[in-house]
C-alpha cells in the first residue's frame, strides 16, 4: 500500500485551535446579537420620527367589574438624571375606544390601590397578540361602588369622554398604574386599547450596538475560522481509498448515516437525558457557529476554485457527526444509552456519519442549491422534524388564553418508543427503522444545503440501521468508471 492510499490517522487536535474556536464563536454570537439589536433599535428610532410612537396592535379588553388596571409601571429610579436629561428618556401613550364614555388615568400605584381597595376590579396579568388574548387577576374588593374617577386629584394624566380617549405621559420615578374605567364608574368595562412608547435613547443605543457588534464580528469571525481550519487539519479523511471502515466506496452512498440499537435501552434513562446532554449542547452551540462560518467561507472557495477546502470540509463533517451521535443518544432517536464521546473523529459508537469529499463541485450550483433547490426538502422535513402547533384554549375572566406547543412526526414516534421502553424495555423495530430513515433524510439534506455534495438528495425514507446498498447495475457502473480512471 502506498503512502497515498494508507489510511490516515487522527492527530491530536491542538488545544489552541479549540480555544480559538471557542473564543471566536462566543464573540461572534455576542456580536451578532448586538448587531441585530442595533438594527432593531435603529428601526425603532426611525419609526419614532415626527413624534410617532411604537404601538402595540389593538386588543379588546373586557370585564364585568368596575375597572381594568395594569401591573406596576416602573419609572426611572434616578430622579435628577431623568429631570436633567436633554432628551426624553421615555413616554407612553394609552389610547382606548369604547361604546360608552371612558376614563383613562395614570397615577402612582399606591393611590390607585387605595382608590380601588373596596371596589371589585381586574388587573391585567398577561397580554398576547396574534392571536390576541388577555389574562386577568380579579381583585374582589368589598363590593363597594367606584367613586367618580374624574373627581379624583391624584391622577398624573387622565382623559375622559365619548369616543377615542388618549393620555400621554412622560415616565417619572416611582411605581405607576394605568386605569381604564367607565366615565361614571359603573361596572362592565369594554374597550379596544393600544399602548405606545417612545424614547430618544434608541438612536444612541442603536449606534453603540451596531458599532460594538461589528467590532466583535471582525474579531470573532476570523478567530472562529482559524480554529475550525486547525481542527479540520488534524482530522483524517475517514473515507480515503483503502479505508477499512468503508472498503468499497462504490457500493455505498457519498453521505452515510448509520445507527444501531445495542441491546434494549434503559426503561427510565430517557427521562433524564435532557439533563445529561447539556454539556454536549454547550459544545455544539460553539461548533455550529464554526459550521455556519465554515460553510460560508467554503461557498466563496467553491465559487472561485470549484473545490471545498479540505480542512473546512473535515471540520464540517465532524460537527455533523458529533450532532448525529448526540441526537441518536437523545431525543431524535433514543437509540442507545452509551454516552456520546467528546471527539471530533470517528469513534467506537453505535451511531456514525461519513461524507465523501468530492474532488470538484459545481460553481454555479453553490449559488442556488442551499436555498432554491433544497427548498422542497425543507418543506417536507419541516413536517417530519419541525412539526405543527397544537393548542388548548383556557377561558379566563373576560378573555381567552391560547397555549400551543410544536409537535412533529419524528417527536411523536420517539415519544411512542419511549413509552414502550418504559413499560416493556423493548424498542419497537418498525418505529426505530422509521426514526432512522427520517434522520438519514435530514442529514443528507443538511450535507447538500451545506454545499458538501452536488448529488441531489432523494425524496425517500431509507429506513433501517444501515445505508441501503445501491442496485447492482449502479455498483458495477461505478466500479467500471473507477477502473477507467
Give tens-digit pLDDT for 21-68: 999 999 999 999 999 999 999 999 999 988 899 999 999 999 999 999
Cis peptide before 131 (omega within 30 of 0): yes
Contact, 436 vs 465, CB < 8 A? yes
More confident residue, 229 or 99: 229
DSSP state of 187: S
Place of cell 451578532: 32
Distance between CA atoms of 312 and 294, rounded to whole angstroms?
A: 6
Contact, 22 vs 227, CB < 8 A? yes
> Which pLDDT belongs to residue 262?
81
Closest CA to 128 of 382, 379, 392, 399: 399
Judging by DSSP bridges, how do beta strands 157-161 and 399-407 pair with one another? unpaired
Would the CA dihedral through 116, 120, 125, 127 be positive or negative? negative
Beta bridge partners, 125, equal: none
Distance between CA atoms of 323 and 181, rounded to whole angstroms?
A: 56
Residue 473 has pLDDT above 60, yes or no: no
Distance between CA atoms of 57 and 127, rounded to whole angstroms?
A: 11
Count Cα atoms within 13 angstroms, Cβ side, for 261. 21
Cell numbers representing residue 360 in the block: 470538484
> Which pLDDT belongs to residue 62?
93
Closest CA to 94 of 166, 144, 146, 30: 166
Residue 292 has pLDDT above 90, yes or no: yes
Residue 168 has pLDDT above 50, yes or no: yes
> Which pLDDT belongs to residue 242?
37
Contact, 405 vs 398, CB < 8 A? no
Contact, 274 vs 327, CB < 8 A? no
Helix segments in 261-348, DSSP class H: 273-276, 278-305, 310-329
The pLDDT confidence band at residue 83, using thresholds 50, 70 and 90, is: very low
**For residue 357, which phi and psi values (nearest 5 degrees)?**
-85, 120
Q: Which of 11-15, 116-120, 467-471 has the lowest mean pLDDT?
A: 467-471
Residue 402 has pLDDT above 80, yes or no: no
> Which pLDDT belongs to residue 12?
84
**Residues in contact with 437: Cβ distance below 8 Å, sequence separation at least 6, in sequence order:** 461, 462, 463, 464
**Residues in contact with 194: Cβ distance below 8 Å, sequence separation at least 6, in sequence order:** 55, 56, 57, 58, 59, 94, 95
Which helix or strand (DSSP H or E) is residue 375 part of?
Answer: helix 375-381
More confident residue, 406 or 186: 186
Distances (CA, A) of 108 to 166, 266, 365: 18, 58, 63
Q: What is the pTM of this model?
A: 0.80
Total Cβ atoms within 10 A of residue 404: 11
Q: Which of 274-288, 366-380, 387-401, 418-432 has the lowest mean pLDDT?
A: 387-401
The pLDDT confidence band at residue 174, using thresholds 50, 70 and 90, is: confident
Average pLDDT over the chain, rounded to an integer: 86
Place of cell 412622560: 170
Amino acid at each position: 500500500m502506498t503512502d497515498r492510499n494508507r489510511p490516515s490517522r487522527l492527530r491530536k487536535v491542538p488545544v489552541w485551535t479549540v480555544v480559538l474556536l471557542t473564543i471566536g464563536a462566543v464573540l461572534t454570537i455576542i456580536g451578532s446579537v448586538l448587531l441585530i439589536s442595533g438594527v432593531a433599535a435603529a428601526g425603532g428610532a426611525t419609526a419614532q420620527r415626527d413624534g410617532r410612537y411604537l404601538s402595540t396592535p389593538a386588543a379588546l379588553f373586557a370585564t364585568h367589574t368596575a375597572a381594568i388596571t395594569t401591573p406596576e409601571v416602573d419609572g426611572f429610579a434616578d430622579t435628577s438624571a431623568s429631570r436633567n436629561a436633554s432628551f426624553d428618556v421615555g413616554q407612553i401613550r394609552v389610547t382606548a375606544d369604547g361604546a360608552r364614555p371612558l376614563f383613562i388615568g395614570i397615577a402612582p400605584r399606591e393611590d390607585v390601590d387605595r382608590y380601588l381597595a373596596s371596589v371589585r376590579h381586574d388587573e391585567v396579568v398577561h397580554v398576547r397578540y396574534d392571536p390576541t388574548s388577555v389574562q386577568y387577576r380579579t381583585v374582589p374588593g368589598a363590593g363597594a361602588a367606584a367613586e367618580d374617577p374624574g373627581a379624583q386629584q391624584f391622577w398624573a394624566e387622565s382623559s375622559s369622554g365619548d369616543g377615542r380617549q388618549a393620555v400621554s405621559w412622560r415616565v417619572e420615578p416611582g411605581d405607576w398604574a394605568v386605569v381604564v374605567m367607565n366615565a361614571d364608574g359603573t361596572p362592565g368595562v369594554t374597550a379596544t386599547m393600544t399602548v405606545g412608547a417612545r424614547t430618544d435613547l434608541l438612536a444612541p443605543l442603536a449606534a453603540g450596538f451596531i458599532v460594538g457588534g461589528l467590532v466583535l464580528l471582525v474579531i470573532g469571525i476570523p478567530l472562529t475560522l482559524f480554529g475550525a481550519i486547525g481542527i479540520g487539519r488534524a482530522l483524517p479523511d475517514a473515507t480515503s481509498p483503502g479505508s477499512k471502515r468503508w472498503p468499497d466506496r462504490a457500493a455505498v452512498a457519498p453521505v452515510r448515516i448509520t445507527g444501531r440499537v445495542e441491546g434494549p435501552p434503559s426503561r427510565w434513562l430517557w427521562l433524564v437525558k435532557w439533563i445529561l446532554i447539556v454539556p454536549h449542547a454547550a459544545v455544539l452551540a460553539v461548533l455550529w457557529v464554526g459550521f455556519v462560518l465554515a460553510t460560508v467561507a467554503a461557498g466563496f472557495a467553491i465559487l472561485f476554485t470549484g473545490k471545498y477546502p479540505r480542512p473546512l470540509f473535515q471540520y464540517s463533517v465532524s460537527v455533523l457527526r458529533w450532532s448525529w451521535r448526540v441526537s441518536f443518544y437523545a431525543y431524535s432517536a433514543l437509540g442507545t444509552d452509551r454516552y456520546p464521546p467528546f471527539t471530533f473523529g470517528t469513534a467506537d459508537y453505535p451511531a456514525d456519519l461519513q461524507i465523501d469529499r468530492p474532488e470538484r463541485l459545481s460553481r454555479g450550483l453553490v449559488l442556488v442549491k442551499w436555498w432554491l433547490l433544497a427548498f422542497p426538502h425543507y418543506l417536507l422535513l419541516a413536517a417530519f422534524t419541525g412539526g405543527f402547533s397544537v393548542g388548548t384554549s383556557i377561558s379566563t375572566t373576560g378573555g381567552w388564553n391560547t397555549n400551543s406547543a410544536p409537535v412533529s412526526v419524528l417527536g411523536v414516534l420517539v415519544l411512542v418508543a419511549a413509552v414502550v421502553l418504559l413499560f416493556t424495555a423493548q424498542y419497537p423495530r418498525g418505529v426505530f427503522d422509521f426514526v432512522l430513515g427520517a434522520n438519514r433524510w435530514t442529514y443528507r439534506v443538511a450535507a447538500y444545503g451545506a454545499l458538501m455534495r452536488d448529488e441531489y438528495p432523494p425524496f425517500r425514507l431509507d429506513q433501517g440501521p444501515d445505508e441501503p446498498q445501491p442496485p447492482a447495475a449502479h455498483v458495477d457502473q461505478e466500479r467500471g468508471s473507477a477502473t477507467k480512471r
